């Protein structure tokens, strides 16, 4: 795992200086603090910050081929690199390292961009071809690893994080108003947009090619589901189900085993839920690996699952480590989290993940396996059940019984759990008959989240204008041919999993402490298997992740696989506005460490950024100070406003450059047809 960055001249002829790359790499030192590497010639500069996991002594980047015509810097892991290497050696390719990085390079030499079809992994790749004078950038299928770029003054600049791009004086950060409105609707920007104007993200499953000053982008993989109809989705016989179960077992075990390939210890996260428990159980049952597990406990019992975490750790016999997240902890480190996410947040859920990765690092681990992806690809979220109930209700819209089914879905939201039929009808009945709408499954969530727009300033609202109602959801041509569940899965994966869950809550929180996450459920073979499953093997009635629960019965205690899903959440307003000493969980005040909150939300600070309405924000703060109940929308607005103010402070009004890499930073500098080492 690493961070990459670089510059390629499109039209300008100025040389690319080593100092520029050293400054860019210094901004992402946290992604790869072990070694650094730079390649330079008259057209391009490439940089790598390495977190050494495979071939610790021989894998320093950049790496070149035998003729020094191809150069690579790379962030990620290719889990099938051993098998690919054997095939390439049989074709006559010679290797000088034991890395997966070099496998990618020779695979590109053999197949060009077609090499991506062979890779089973998570990656952001940059390869410079000195003969073709071309730059190849590529990103993994579902966007586990980030890659951003911009074009400024005749050059394309790219990086694993935006802060590396901002280290170049040609690029100045500006908030993109439309992107901000997307965050306050979908919880994240819609790829390729970022919250910064003219800085974009290479979409998952795409590659970018720079040749002769021209930039082209091509999709090499996309989500796909079989065509659906009532006749094409028959009932599953017990024998059919057994066959599916056996294939799933084989795929998931193999996906987990190959993700243990490393020259450093590998741990696992335990959330207390089904997905992470299954992955940990596979490691214990199908490998000889010693296993350390890591969990988050919350001091607030509303969010805490530590009883189940400890039960699972005891059942598996793992060495278990726990970090406790208090309200004060979340409020204290929130600014650091925003610095790493580089985008506004409508949730505080990334913060405990930041604390957890710190715990992992303190125990000298660099790699952890986690359960991300199961909810998206096996229909684990309540939003899938909600859409199913609403479609059922829509057949008899006057029914007073059918909407009561919705009370079962959100016990953690008081208004919904205890709501009357009239309240449920009002909340969930919006656009109820429009079951053929492309966004039917997500429209209520997006509508309710967009209520936070009322905090926008008049100026921002005017600039956004009509674009608020015309978001470019990337519906593929076959979307209308898919079933209702599959359509909902597509929306969840493209608007939530890739841009938020795998980024703000995943990659960024792990790499903040140089921790690499690996995700067996996101093995592309598992994804494609799940996408082709009959609906009732994912969501049977209102039982989520049906096939996974069947699989889990042989590995987990019943208390774990039978328990209802508890969404991972974290407290919001009490993390920023602590209760009096007699009421809070720690028994002591923490306002002194949260002065930044009052400062960021003061009328003067709000007016200075021009993003929000100072009066509306003051009313929200007053509501909290008076102890009034906040709605879910209020909580999202609070986190979003505060994090947006921090984005402005950290990246626009007060952006701070890190000192460039020094001579003692173990920097390998390579130049065209020759290279030498410094440090």
Q: Residue ranges per domain, the chain?
A: 2-175+196-221+667-677, 238-377+492-561, 574-653
pLDDT at 672: 80
Q: Which two tokens stand for residue 647?
A: 């984005």
Whether residue 310 is predicted with pLDDT greater than 70 in this model: the reply is yes
Whether residue 612 is predicted with pLDDT greater than 90 in this model: the reply is yes
Least confident of 158-167, 292-301, 586-595, 631-640: 586-595
Closest CA to 43 of 602, 571, 672: 672
Whether residue 228 is predicted with pLDDT greater than 90 in this model: the reply is no
> Alpha-carbon distance 598 to 591, whole Å?
10
Confidence of residue 673 (pLDDT cuts 50, 70, 90): low
Q: For all residues of the chain together, what is the average pLDDT?
A: 93
Whether residue 529 is predicted with pLDDT greater than 60 in this model: the reply is yes
CATH number for 238-377+492-561 (one of 3.40.50.620, 3.40.50.150, 3.40.1400.10, 3.40.50.11540): it is 3.40.50.620
More confident residue, 429 or 512: 512
Strand (E) or helix (H) holding 184: helix 177-186
pLDDT at 408: 79
Domain 2-175+196-221+667-677 sits in CATH at 3.60.20.10
Q: Taking the CB of residue 193, how many other CB atoms lie within 10 A of it?
A: 20
Task: Check the CA dihedral 417-420-421-425 and report its sign.
Answer: negative
pLDDT per position as a tens digit, 68-87 = 999 999 999 999 999 999 99
Return all residues near 450 (Cβ < 8 A) that are at least 6 apart. 184, 185, 468
The predicted model gives 222-249 an average pLDDT of 85
Task: Check the CA dihedral 358-364-366-368 and report its sign.
Answer: negative
The predicted model gives 397-423 an average pLDDT of 80
Closest CA to 507 of 162, 229, 138: 162
Whether residue 232 is predicted with pLDDT greater than 90 in this model: the reply is no
- Kind of pairing between the strands at 214-219 and 266-269: unpaired
pLDDT at 590: 42
pLDDT at 347: 97
More confident residue, 200 or 409: 200
């Amino acid at each position: 795992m690493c961070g990459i960055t670089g510059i390629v001249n499109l039209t300008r002829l100025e040389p690319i200086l080593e100092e520029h790359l050293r400054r860019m790499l210094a901004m992402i030192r946290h992604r790869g603090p072990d070694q650094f590497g730079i390649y330079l010639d008259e057209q391009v500069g490439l940089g790598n910050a390495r977190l050494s996991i495979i071939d610790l002594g021989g894998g320093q980047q950049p790496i070149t081929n035998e003729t020094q015509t191809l150069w690579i810097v790379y962030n990620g892991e290719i889990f099938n690199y051993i098998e690919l290497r054997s095939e390439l050696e049989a074709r006559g390719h010679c290797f000088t390292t034991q890395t997966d990085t070099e496998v990618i390079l020779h695979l590109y030499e053999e197949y060009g961009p077609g090499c991506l079809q062979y890779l089973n992994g998570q990656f952001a790749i940059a390869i410079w071809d000195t003969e073709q004078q071309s730059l190849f950038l590529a990103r993994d299928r579902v966007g586990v690893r980030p890659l951003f770029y911009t074009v400024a003054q005749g050059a394309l600049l790219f990086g694993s994080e935006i802060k590396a791009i901002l280290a170049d004086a040609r690029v100045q950060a500006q908030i993109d108003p439309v992107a901000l409105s997307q965050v306050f609707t979908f919880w994240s920007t819609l790829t390729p947009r970022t919250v910064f104007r003219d800085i974009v993200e290479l979409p998952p499953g795409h590659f970018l090619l720079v040749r002769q000053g021209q930039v082209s982008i091509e999709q090499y993989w996309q989500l796909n589901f079989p065509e659906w109809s009532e006749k094409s989705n028959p009932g599953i016989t017990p024998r059919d189900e057994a066959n599916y179960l056996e294939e799933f077992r084989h795929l998931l075990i193999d996906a987990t085993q190959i993700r243990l390939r490393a020259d450093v210890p590998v741990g696992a996260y335990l959330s207390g839920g089904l997905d992470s428990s299954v992955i940990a159980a596979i490691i214990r049952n199908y490998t000889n690996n010693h296993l350390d597990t890591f969990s988050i406990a919350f001091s607030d019992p509303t969010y805490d699952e530590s009883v189940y975490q400890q039960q699972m750790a005891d059942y598996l016999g793992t060495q278990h480590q726990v970090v406790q997240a208090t309200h004060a902890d979340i409020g204290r480190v929130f600014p650091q989290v925003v610095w790493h996410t580089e985008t506004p947040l409508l949730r505080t859920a990334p913060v405990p993940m930041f604390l957890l990765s710190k715990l992992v690092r303190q125990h000298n681990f660099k790699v952890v396996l986690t359960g991300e992806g199961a909810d998206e690809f096996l229909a684990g979220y309540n939003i899938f059940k909600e859409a199913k109930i609403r479609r059922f209700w829509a057949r008899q819209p006057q029914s007073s019984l059918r909407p009561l089914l919705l009370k079962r879905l959100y016990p953690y939201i008081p208004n919904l759990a205890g709501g009357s039929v009239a309240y449920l009808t009002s909340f969930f009945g919006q656009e109820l008959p429009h079951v053929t709408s492309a966004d039917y499954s997500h429209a209520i969530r997006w509508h309710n989240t967009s209520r936070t727009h009322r905090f926008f300033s008049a100026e921002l609202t005017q600039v956004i204008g009509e674009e608020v109602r015309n978001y470019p959801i990337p519906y593929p041509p076959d979307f209308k041919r898919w079933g209702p569940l599959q359509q909902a899965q597509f929306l969840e994966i493209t608007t939530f999993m890739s841009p938020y869950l795998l980024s703000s809550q995943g990659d960024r929180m792990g790499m903040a402490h140089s921790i690499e996450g690996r995700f067996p459920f996101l093995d592309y073979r598992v994804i494609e298997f799940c996408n082709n499953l009959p609906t009732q093997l994912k969501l049977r009635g209102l039982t989520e992740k049906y096939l996974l629960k069947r699989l889990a019965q042989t590995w987990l205690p019943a208390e774990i696989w039978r328990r209802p899903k508890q969404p991972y959440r974290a407290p919001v307003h009490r993390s920023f506005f602590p209760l009096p000493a007699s009421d809070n969980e720690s028994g002591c005040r923490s306002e002194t460490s949260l002065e930044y909150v009052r400062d960021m939300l003061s009328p003067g600070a709000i007016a200075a950024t021009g993003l929000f309405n100072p009066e509306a924000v003051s009313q929200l703060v007053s509501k909290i100070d008076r102890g009034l109940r906040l709605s879910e929308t209020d909580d999202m607005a609070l986190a979003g406003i505060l994090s947006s103010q921090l984005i402005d402070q950290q990246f626009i009004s007060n952006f701070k450059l890190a000192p460039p890499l020094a001579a003692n930073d173990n920097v390998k500098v390579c130049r065209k047809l020759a290279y030498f080492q410094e440090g």
